[in-house]
Structure 1
Amino acid sequence: MKSHSSKLLAEVRSFRQNHPDVRYVDLIALDIPGHFYGKRYPVEMLEKVAAGSPLKLPQNAVLLGVQGGLFKIGDYCFNDGDPDANRRLVPGTLKPVNWESQPLGQMLITSDGTEAPIEFEPREVLGKVLERLQHQGIHPVVAFELEFYLFDKQLENGLPQFARDPLSGDADDQPNLHIERLSRFSDVLDDMAQTAKDQGIDITVITAEIGPGQFEINFGHCDDGLRAADWAALFCRSTRGVALKHGYRASFMAKPYLQFPGSGMHVHVSLYDAAGNNLLAAHQQQPLRHAVAGCLELLPHCMPIFSPNHNAFRRLGGTVNAATRASWGFEDRDACVRIPESDPRNLRIEHRLASADANPYLVLAAILVGLEHGLEAKREPIAPLNEDRNSGTDFPVEMLDAVRAMQQQPILRDKLGAEFVDVYCENKRQDHLAFQQEIHAREYRWFL
C-alpha cells in the first residue's frame, strides 16, 4: 500500500510540475447509464489524497438515472441514509484537459480495489470478471471501435442539424465513405485524435462512415481489459468536449437519424494463456466455436447492456450492418459476432451488437462472460451466416422484455453478480418508465 501511494504521489507531483497553471482536477467515474460523475478537487488536495487521505463520494451516485435522478431500487437511495463509499485514484489516468476555457486536469476514480467495493459499480463488475478469468489462466486482449456523429452546435427546435462542411459551409448531408470528408473535417478530427492521445488513449484508424457527419475511431489492442474500457469511456468525454470547442456537437447516441445508420460500439476480443498462446486457435479452432456459442446463448439476456436505452433499440435492424437476431459469421458484418480474417496468433471475435452509447465496462464484462460460459459449456454454435443467411436466434427488442430476460438469467446472476443484475435491471426499468411519462407532440397530432 505504501509503494502504491508513493507512485500516485509521484504522478501527482509530476503533473503539477509539468502543468503549473492547472489549479483544479476533475475526479470522475462512470455511472450505470454511462455518464461521468465526480468532484472537482484543488490540485493540492489531490496530492493529499494520493498520499493516503480518504476519498469518499456518495455510493448512490452510481445509481443515477440517465437524466440524473434517483430511483428507489431496493433499499438504495431512500432507505439507506445515502452513505458515502470509498474511492481510489486510478494510477496513470491523471491528464490535462485541453477543451475547457481554463486549464484543468482529470483523473479516474473507482471503488474497485477498495476495502468495500460497490458491487454495482461498472468498473468493479468488469474487474471481477477479469480477475476470475486471470485465475483460470485466461488473459483477454481487447480493442474498442466507436462510431459517433458530428452535428451543428445549434439545435433547431431541439432537433440536431447536419454538421456544416468547413470547406463549403454547406450541410454535410451526403452520406458516403469518401476519404475527402476526413480532409474537410480534419481540424476537429485531428484535435480529437491528439486530445485522446494526450489522455493516454491509443488511437489508430479514423474512418468516415456512411451517415452524414458520422465517423469511427479505432483504438489499439490492449492486454488490460480495464484500461481498454477506460479508454472508451474517456474518449467519449474528450470527443464531446473537443467538438464543442470547434463549433460542433459530438454524440454517441445510437440512432440520431432514422434514415441513416446508427452508431455502434464494436469490441474485438482475443484470449491468450500465460505463455501467449491464442486459446481460441487451439485444436483446429474448436474453442473459438465454443466461445461463439456461449456469446450467442447469453446475448438475448444481455440486451439491456448492449442496448441501454429506448433509442438504442431503434438501431437494431433496418439500415446497414445492425443485426436483428443473435448470429455469427466469418467476415460478415451482418452478424452480431463476426470472425475477422486473421492468422492464428490474432484470431479473435468482433462483437458488433452494442450501441455506441452503451457502458463500455459492462459491454466488455458481458462479452467476456459469454466467452467464458462458452469455453466451459463446450457446445457447438448454430450455423454461421456464411452457410445459412436465415441462421440466428431471437432476442428482445423492447426494454421491459429485455430486462425480464436479463434479471432471470442464472448464469449472468452468477458471473456478473446477482446484486449488480438486480440493481442494473431496476435502473433500466425505471429509466424506461420515466421516458414514457412525457406526452410527445406526435400523440396530440394523432389523437387529439
Structure 2
Amino acid sequence: MQMIRTGPDVERKAETEFFLAAHCDLNGVFRGKRVPADQGDKILKSGIRMPMSSIGVDIWGTDVLGNDLFDRGDLDGIVEPTGREPIPLVWGRSPALFVPMWMRLENGAPFFGDPRRVLAGVLDRYAAQALTPVVAMELEFHLIRDTGEAVPVPVADVPPAHAGGADTIYCLDELGQVGEFLDDVYAMASACGIRLEAVTSESGPSQYEFNLVHRADALRVADDTVYLKQIVRNVARRHGMRATFMAKPYMEHAGNGLHMHFSLLDAAGRNVFDNGGAEGTPALRHAVAGLLAAMHDTALIFAPHRNSARRLRPGTLAPVNATWGYENRTAAVRIPGGPAAARRIEHRVAGADANPYLVVAAVLAAALKGMDEALAPPAATDGNVETATASACAVPPDWRQAIEAFEASALVKALFPADFIMMFASCKRQELAVFEQEISALEYRSYLHTV
C-alpha cells in the first residue's frame, strides 16, 4: 500500500494488514474500528466518524441516557489522529498498527467530552502562563489466572506463608518468575515509543508496578499510561495470564494505585518548585493547597468505580483525607526528598482503574488554581495522617457520595468543561443504578433465612 507520510515508519506501515483506529472513552476504554490497510491513507488524513456518545458509554459499553447527547440527535464527531505516528499496539499476532486518535466536533472545535481534550484544555492554561508541567506516572496491577476470576498467579519458590504478604515487596525472586512477561512488556512499550524506568514487585499477590519516565509533555505521558495499560493486558494474555487494574481486587491485600509526580518549568526552563532546599518554593505550597482544596469534590475522577472506594481505607497506605507532608507516604499529597533541582509533588489518591487523562487533568487544574489564587495549605503532617489529622477533609468514603460531590461542586464547574461534567456524572449515575439493582450473595446468606 502507499502511505501519505514518509520516514522511518514507512516499512512498518507497508507490512500492516489493518489499522486499529480508536479514541479513549471516559472510563479509559478504547472504542473504535478495525480498518483494512488499503484505507490507511484516508484514516491518517481525515479520521473516522463516530457518535459523540461513544465516548460517554458506561463500563459495559451501554449508551448513557442521562446526558443530553441524544437530545441533540446523537450526532457524530470526527475521530482524528492526534499527530502521533501509528504504533504497534496490537491485540492479536497479525501485523497491525494502532492509530492514536481523539474527537472533535464537525465544525472543527474540540469536543470536551473527550478526556484527552479535557487534559489538553488544562495544559493550554499552563501554556498561557509560560509554564510546562513535567509529569511521571507509577502504575500498579495484579497478574491473575486466565479464568475470569480474581485468582492470583502463583509465585514459584516463595513459601506459601509469605506468598502475597509483605515480604513480596521489592522481591527480586518474584520479578524473576515473571521475567519473560516483563521483558515482553518492555519490548512492546519500546516499540510504541513508551519509556519505562523500573519495575518492582509490590506487597499484594502477584502485584507489580511500572514507572514511566518524567517528561515535559503531560499529554504524551497520559497517552503512554493509557497505552501501557493495554500493553500489559495484551502481553499477559500471550503468556496465558490476565492483568487487572482493579483498584481493590483483594480486600485483604494492597490495592492498585496510579500515583502522579509533577514539577513545573518556567519559560527559562527552571523548576518553579525548587528554592534550593527541601521545603520548596511558595509556588509549591500554593499548588499543594489547590490540590487539597479540590480533593473532596474531584474524588470521583480518582475513584470512579464501585470498587474504587474499597482501596481508600485506613491502614492501607491509600489516602483517606486531604493531607500533605514531606516524605510522608501516608499522606494524599507527598513532597518526595532528593535533590532540590528535582523538587516535585506526588499525588497519591488515584487508583489504577482511573482514566489517566482525567487524573492528570484534575491534578494539574487544581494545582494551577491554587497557584493563581495563592492559596495557603495547612501545616504539613509528620507521621501517620490517619491519627494525626482527624480534622482534615475526608475523601468521600463511598461511590454515591463521590458522585454527588462532583455534580454539586462549583469548584468542579470552574475546573472542567460543561460537556465533560455532564457526561462523566451521567455515566457514573447510570453505573451506580445498575449496581444497586443487584442483590449480592452476601445479602442472601445473611438475611434470607434469618430475619
Q: TM-score, normalised by structure 2?
A: 0.91
- Structure 1 residues 98-117: Cα deviation after superposition (integer angstroms, max 9, x where no partner): 55132221121112698122
Match of 2:319 in 1: 323
Match of 1:162 in 2: 152
* CA separation of 1:316 and 1:93: change in aligned 2, threshold 3 A: farther
Rounded Cα–Cα distance in structure 2 between residues aligned with 1:53 and 1:211: 45
Query: What amino acid maps onto 1:138 in structure 2?
Result: L
Query: What amino acid maps onto 2:22 in structure 1?
Result: I
Aligned positions of 1:140-219 closer than 5 A? 140-155=133-148, 159-165=149-155, 173-175=163-165, 176-177=168-169, 178-219=171-212
Which secondary structure does the structure 2 equivalent of 1:145 belong to? strand
The farther-off stretch of 283-292 and 340-349 is: 283-292
Rounded Cα–Cα distance in structure 2 between residues aligned with 1:34 and 1:49: 22
Match of 1:394 in 2: 394
Alignment identity in percent?
33
Rounded Cα–Cα distance in structure 2 between residues aligned with 1:130 and 1:312: 27
- Aligned-pair RMSD on alpha carbons? 2.3
* CA separation of 1:342 and 1:191: change in aligned 2, threshold 3 A: same
* CA separation of 1:93 and 1:210: change in aligned 2, threshold 3 A: farther
Asked if residue 10 in structure 1 is aligned to residue 5 in structure 2, the reply is: yes
Asked if residue 274 in structure 1 is aligned to residue 267 in structure 2, the reply is: yes
Q: TM-score, normalised by structure 1?
A: 0.92
Q: Which runs of 5+ in 1 are unaligned?
A: 1-7
Query: What amino acid maps onto 2:25 in structure 1?
Result: D
Rounded Cα–Cα distance in structure 1 between residues aligned with 2:47 and 2:190: 30
Which secondary structure does the structure 1 equivalent of 2:39 belong to? helix
* CA separation of 1:420 and 1:382: change in aligned 2, threshold 3 A: same
Match of 1:31 in 2: 25
Give how far 1:447 is off: 1.6
Give how far 1:199 is off: 1.2
Rounded Cα–Cα distance in structure 1 between residues aligned with 2:194 and 2:436: 38
Residue 312 of structure 2 contacts residue 319 of structure 2 at CA under 8 Å; is this kept in 1? yes
Query: What amino acid maps onto 1:366 in structure 2?
Result: A
- Structure 1 residues 100-159: Cα deviation after superposition (integer angstroms, max 9, x where no partner): 13222112111269812212110000000001110111110000110000011124xxx3
Q: Which runs of 5+ in 2 are unaligned?
A: none
Query: What amino acid maps onto 1:160 in structure 2?
Result: A
Instruction: Pick one of 76, 85, 95 that aligns with 2:87.
Output: 95
Which secondary structure does the structure 2 equivalent of 1:217 belong to? strand
Give how far 1:383 is off: 1.9
Residue 328 of structure 2 contacts residue 383 of structure 2 at CA under 8 Å; is this kept in 1? no
Rounded Cα–Cα distance in structure 1 between residues aligned with 2:86 and 2:370: 37
Match of 2:426 in 1: 426
Match of 1:260 in 2: 253
Match of 2:231 in 1: 238
Give how far 1:415 is off: 2.4
The farther-off stretch of 53-62 and 31-40 is: 53-62
Which secondary structure does the structure 1 equivalent of 2:261 belong to? strand
Residue 149 of structure 1 contacts residue 215 of structure 1 at CA under 8 Å; is this kept in 2? yes
Give how far 1:166 is off: 5.8
Which secondary structure does the structure 1 equivalent of 2:141 belong to? strand
Which secondary structure does the structure 1 equivalent of 2:180 belong to? helix
* CA separation of 1:99 and 1:56: change in aligned 2, threshold 3 A: closer
Which secondary structure does the structure 2 equivalent of 1:279 belong to? coil
Asked if residue 223 in structure 1 is aligned to residue 216 in structure 2, the reply is: yes
Give how far 1:258 is off: 0.2
Query: What amino acid maps onto 1:380 in structure 2?
Result: A
Rounded Cα–Cα distance in structure 2 between residues aligned with 1:98 and 1:229: 19
Which secondary structure does the structure 2 equivalent of 1:96 belong to? coil
* CA separation of 1:10 and 1:171: change in aligned 2, threshold 3 A: farther
Query: What amino acid maps onto 1:410 in structure 2?
Result: A
Which secondary structure does the structure 2 equivalent of 1:431 belong to? helix
Residue 18 of structure 2 contacts residue 96 of structure 2 at CA under 8 Å; is this kept in 1? yes
Residue 26 of structure 1 contacts residue 105 of structure 1 at CA under 8 Å; is this kept in 2? yes
Give how far 1:219 is off: 0.4
Query: What amino acid maps onto 2:393 in structure 1?
Result: T
Query: What amino acid maps onto 1:400 in structure 2?
Result: R
Which secondary structure does the structure 2 equivalent of 1:87 belong to? strand
Give how far 1:39 is off: 0.7
Query: What amino acid maps onto 2:103 in structure 1?
Result: S
Give how far 1:14 is off: 5.2
